[in-house]
Every structure is written in C-alpha cells, then in structure tokens.
Structure 1
Amino acid sequence: MSTTADHTNCLRCGRVLRSARSRSLGYGPTCARHIRRATVDLTDYKPHQVQSARELIEDGAIIPLRSVIFIAVSTDGTETYRTAPTGCTCPAGLKGSRCYHQLAARMLLAA
C-alpha cells in the first residue's frame, strides 16, 4: 500500500531532477548533501524525533508551501499537517510540544 511520488523538480532549489533516485527523494544530490549537513540545534529534541525528522526529509514527505511553511505527512501517511519552525498542526504541536515535523522544517530551512 506504499505509494511513491516522483518529483520532477527539486523541492529545495526547483531545478529539474534527472536521476531516478533524485526524483524519488525530491532533492538533487547537492541539495540533499546541504540538508544532511545542515546545522540545527537538537538539544530540545529526543533522539527518535531527530531520526523521524531525517526520515521525513529522506522520504520527501515534507514539502515547502511558502517560504517558511511546509506540508508534512503523518507517520502512517493518513494525514497532513501544516508546519513551520515555530509550530505545527499535528496533535503534539497543538499541545505546544516540539514535534519532529518542526525539526524537519528547521533542518530544511537551515540548509
């Protein structure tokens, strides 16, 4: 039941993606490298949140909507949330907690 969406343009810079791997990730090799190397303060996040944020980015499950607002897919893929580095519409974000969606947004913006 897993479906993959191939992207024709990089979600970070907008350039045309040529390789099958880049299209499946949603990021070209240079942008993917920038995202992996992005320096973000992780002190407020638990290790599983950091891992989930990285998986969200690698799966192409967080898509920029505006300059600092993203659409993020839930872990089970049934819901989407509006997220930004300062807040999220997921259940944890609505309670005022930091969620991995926010961390993924911070990682993408730091890149």
Structure 2
Amino acid sequence: MQNTTSQYSNCIRCGRHLTSAKSRAIGYGPTCARKIRTATTFVSSRTDYSPDQVDSACQLIEDGGILPLRSVIFLTVSTDGTELHRTAPTGCNCKAGLKGGRCYHQLAARMLLAA
C-alpha cells in the first residue's frame, strides 16, 4: 500500500513543515512519530481488539493511510487500497463498521487521537 515515490511536505498529524528526508518519506516529524508510537503501544495494550487488528492499525498509520479530515473524523484507505472510508474512533463506513463491528480503522483513529 505504501507508495515510495510520494513525499510529504507537512506532518500529517500536526501540519508542521517537514525538513528531513526520513520525515518527508513517512509523513510525520520526529516528535509526532514518537507520540504516535507511544500512543500506539498504550492504546493497543488496553483494548480488546485482536492482534491482527492492532497490526493492521499500526500498518495503516505507518503507511500514511489515515488522514485527518476534521477534529475526530479521518479518511482511511482499505486494506487493498481501492476504497476510502470515513472513520471516527466510534464508527466507520467500511463493511465491518457498517455492520456494527469494530474495525482496525477505528483503532488507528483512536491511536492518532491519543497521540
């Protein structure tokens, strides 16, 4: 899912200008990346999501497949990269979310908001 040719000029999380090549490649500055790693560890250890969902949520964040739209609404990419979903910590319009289930998109949103 990760497109290695894309470069971010601003941090996906806070919007600040990215200066290092590594930061531009991943889409997060060093401070935001550290906060996301800390929040990911904290949130994933205190939820009853499956380990596969935790891994998928972490991968979604690492790939830059979740972008903030509004204060608690995010735009997320499907597993196969063909669909976009609107996601909040409490709901998602993916198939699992529409059925009332909890999806890894919601977990990724929770992780980013906890950061």
CA distance in 1, matches of 2:94, 2:53: 14
CA distance in 2, matches of 1:9, 1:110: 20
- Tell me which residue corresponds to 2:15: 14
Using the TM superposition, give the Cα deviation of residue 21 of structure 1 relative to its aligned residue in structure 2, in angstroms. Answer: 1.7
TM-score (norm 1): 0.93
User: Residue 83 of structure 2 aligns to which amino acid in structure 1?
Assistant: E
Q: Tell me the SS of whatever aligns to 2:75.
A: strand
CA RMSD in angstroms, aligned pairs only: 1.5
CA distance in 2, matches of 1:24, 1:89: 28
Give the ranges of 4+ consecutive aligned residues of structure 1 lying more than 6 Å apart after TM superposition.
none
Structure 1 gap ranges (5+): none
Residue among 48, 53, 73 paired with 1:49:
53
Q: Please list the CA deviations of residues 38-77 of structure 1 after superposition, one character each: whole Å capped at 9, or x if unmatched.
A: 1226432000000000000000000000010000001111
CA distance in 2, matches of 1:89, 1:24: 28
- Tell me which residue corresponds to 2:35: 34
More helix by share: 2
User: Residue 3 of structure 1 aligns to which amino acid in structure 2?
Assistant: N
Residue among 55, 60, 64 paired with 2:64:
60
Fraction of identical pairs, as percent: 72
User: Residue 71 of structure 2 aligns to which amino acid in structure 1?
Assistant: S
Identify if the C-alpha distance between structure 1 residues 2 and 67 changes in structure 2 by more than 3 Å, giving closer, same or farther: closer
Query: Superposition pairs for residues 59-98 of structure 1, below 5 Å?
Result: 59-98=63-102
Q: How many residues are aligned here?
A: 111
